[in-house]
Amino acid sequence: MSPKNISLKRVVEAILFVAPEPISSGRLDELTAGIRKEGERVKDALAELAGEYESEERSFTIRKVAEGYQLRTREIYASWIRNLYRTRRTVYLSKPALETLAIIAYKQPITRSEIEAIRGVAVDGILKSLLERELIKISGQKEVVGRPYLYRTCRKFLEHFGLPSLAALPPLESRETPSGKKIISAAQLRPAPPEAGEGIEPEETQ
């Protein structure tokens, strides 16, 4: 097939097929600059592909995750996919780690001492673990005495929980400890199922 006959939609599909992580529309624009015809938009191609997969009842679709786009399998096929990986050891976040991650997600940027004031316990080891898993990062230092590090969530946090952006975080919840202290609940944070993410819809032409 001649490059002149290749459609933008199929180029976008090929890129998503091999991309190891969600890819932004801006990056897709850059990668397809040489093939887009006048008036063609990557977002329209994404919407067409999503509609095509839906009408043909494909086992996968396009989802918006971590401020990018990714091919993801549908939930109905999750059990078969789990069978493929059942021999692998799954690493889970402990409840304290989830609570710490929830605090960072909702209060970021935040310092270690501020996290500990909310949780009531030391979090040095937990922060190290979350940093190693690339769920959080150090985003600078607070302009106070001692200039402590500030922590934020990373893109991998959005991918892990199937969120298109931080704006999609569930409503903030809190729970009360036996002493009456209220802390942020991690109950609403759950790893993303295979289909997680925001669906793609056609956008109005500008």
Taking 90 as the threshold, does the pLDDT of residue 45 lie above it?
A: yes
Terminal CA-CA length for the chain: 32
Q: What is the pLDDT of residue 95?
A: 86
Domains of the chain: 3-85+195-199 (1.10.10.10), 95-184 (1.10.10.10)
What predicted TM-score, i.e. pTM, was given to this entire model? 0.64
Can you say how many angstroms the Cα of residue 176 is from the centroid of all Cα atoms in its chain? 28
Phi, psi values for residue 8, rounded to 5°: -60, -40
Omega before residue 194 within 30° of 0, cis: no
- CB atoms inside a 10 Å sphere around CB 175: 12
pLDDT digits (tens, 9 = 90+) for 4-28: 678 999 999 999 999 989 999 999 9
Taking 70 as the threshold, does the pLDDT of residue 200 lie above it?
A: no
Q: What is the pLDDT of residue 204?
A: 37
Q: pLDDT class for 206, splitting at 50, 70, 90?
A: very low
Give the separation between CA 64 and CA 24, rounded to whole angstroms: 9
Q: pLDDT class for 194, splitting at 50, 70, 90?
A: low
